[in-house]
Chain A
Amino acid sequence: MNSFTYTQADAVDTAVDERASDLTAKFIAGGTNLIDLMKENVERPTRLIDITRLPMATISETLEGGLRLGALVTNADTAYDERIIQRYPLLSQTILAGASPQLRNMATDGGNLMQRTRCYYFYDLATPCNKREPGSGCSALNGFNRIHAILGTRTQGSDGQLAEPNCIATHPSDMCVALAALEAVVRVTGKNGERSIPFAEFHKLPGDTPHIDNTLESDEIITAIDLPAKGFPDNFMYLKLRDRASYAFALVSVAAALELENGNITDARIALGGVAHKPWRKPEAEALLVGKPATKENFQAAAEALLAGAQGYGHNTFKIELAKRAIVRALGQAAKLEPTA
């Protein structure tokens, strides 16, 4: 770990000022990802600003009938909150599918959004990585890429042709997959005041700037995550596929939420984890389901639409078929057409 100084912030405004005056400083809360990356010398902040004393550690009602998760609420306290269990069981189930109890007790909801990728090459200082050192190259593209992305990796060049990816890393979060499906809103504060970022616009695709994970400005801090009133408490499923039954990152995961009336789908949300640089959603694929009966055939059509344009890079090519099957199964489980275990 590099040498750094440590300060405690006592107000959101002063935390923002401190960070704005020194962009080599980083905020620390749960620290479960940042400290690990610092031990690996991947992150080398000159200063840590401890934000754990800021007043953003509660879950409260919003005027719109939803819930506001303070950025410092731990993953465990969120997953086990009675209001979350009753009104957003998809979120509770998703959080509990991730990490370990010890990590969930420390990790915060705001910090979960800020997790860096678990790409082995991002962690390995001996290899090129466009996310760690922009312009150095992507080692995963022709390397071991079993855990890597199959969607949103290629960008259109100026000639209109799809260019080689700059980065095929995935976003590692489970929680964010459910937040994408629930259309959460990220509340942030910076030098220019507060703003709200729709969840779909918070994380970005790698494009030409894979070193930037999200659309947060450098002086901004996440203060809360708002859940809209609609929580799909009756028909939901988080299906996580991984190399062991517990405590592993997803190869592919699906957060599925349905609203049903007499067996017909009136609203559908599908978000994928483990397949892209951000939780993957495609509203067109969800729209295919609306007004139709909850059948395996209709789920299959949605799965095909969601995976359209998917590209494998060798070791991870299996994810394309795996993701389609996982979508069909998760939707079937959400619709209670098949057992959940």
Chain B
Amino acid sequence: MSPPLDKRAPSLPPLHTVTLTVNGKETQLKLSPWTSLLDALREYMDLTGTKKGCDHGQCGACTVLLDGKRINSCMTLAIMQEGKQITTIEGLAPTPDELHPLQQAFIDHDAFQCGYCTPGQICSAVGMMNEGRVKTTADIRELMSGNICRCGAYTNIVDAIEEVINKQTA
């Protein structure tokens, strides 16, 4: 039998005041140090577009942009992201009446079935386009491998992204 876990009586440390800049807007929150960026967005700011899939950095559903770079919001603490520009799926469209080109392309190509992975797929694709490393369709598949779609809409997802990249570079 293995030795027992080193258990400590929980004593909650004081909450930290954390200022997050999300989609261009600064918000002050009172957070425990262990609150992930994902939980801060969903539970404290009502930005539920960002999804919790595996909560272990394996599925990509929680992908957001941090200073324009795509990251897994479940694998970082909100308290560590003060001063960074955080962009979520809610912040991609240029105006409330318009869609981001990738959002429109996902609709046009039917690039989803249940839609749960879609916000992460789109944020990840925006990040990938910011990186500017895509030269072939195979590159899209490799560089989107951090986003799992359990419905298996990959073919249409790749088509949607490819269309937007081709339009941009045309």
Interface residues of A (CB under 8 A from B): 1-6, 28, 30-32, 35-36, 38-39, 41, 44, 46, 48, 50, 52, 76, 80, 99-103, 105-106, 125, 127-129, 133, 135-137, 246-247
Contacts and interface: CB of A to CB of B under 8 A. Distances in A.
Interface in B19-72: 33-34, 36, 55-57, 60, 63, 66, 69-72
A1 to B, nearest CB: 5
Contact of B71 (A39, A102, A128, A133): A102
B113 interface: no
Contacts of B75: 31-32, 35-36, 103, 106
Contact of A136 (B2, B55, B127): B2
B64 to A, nearest CB: 9
B13 A4 contact: yes
A127 B80 CA distance: 33
A101 B70 contact: yes
B57 A102 contact: yes
A31 B124 CA distance: 19
A6 B79 contact: yes
A46 B8 CA distance: 10
A217 B56 CA distance: 29
A44 B6 contact: yes
A125 B4 CA distance: 10
A32 B34 contact: no
Contacts of A105: 66, 69-71, 127
Given A6-B16, A44-B6, A100 B60 contact: yes
A101 B146 contact: yes
Contact of B70 (A1, A28, A52, A102): A102
B145 interface: yes
The secondary-structure label for the interface of chain A is loop
B161 to A, nearest CB: 13
Nearest to A74: B69
A133 B1 CA distance: 11
A128 B4 CA distance: 11
Given A3-B11, A31-B77, A102 B124 contact: yes
10 contacts: A4-B33, A5-B13, A6-B13, A48-B33, A102-B146, A103-B57, A106-B76, A133-B2, A136-B3, A137-B2
B121 to A, nearest CB: 12
Given A6-B13, A35-B77, A101-B128, 8 more contacts: A6-B33, A6-B79, A99-B146, A101-B70, A101-B124, A102-B60, A129-B2, A136-B3
Nearest to A32: B75
Given A6-B79, A102-B57, A105-B71, A133 B145 contact: no
A66 to B, nearest CB: 25
Residue in B36, B75, B141 with the greatest tally of chain A CB atoms within 10 Å: B75
A1 B55 CA distance: 12
A106 B145 CA distance: 16
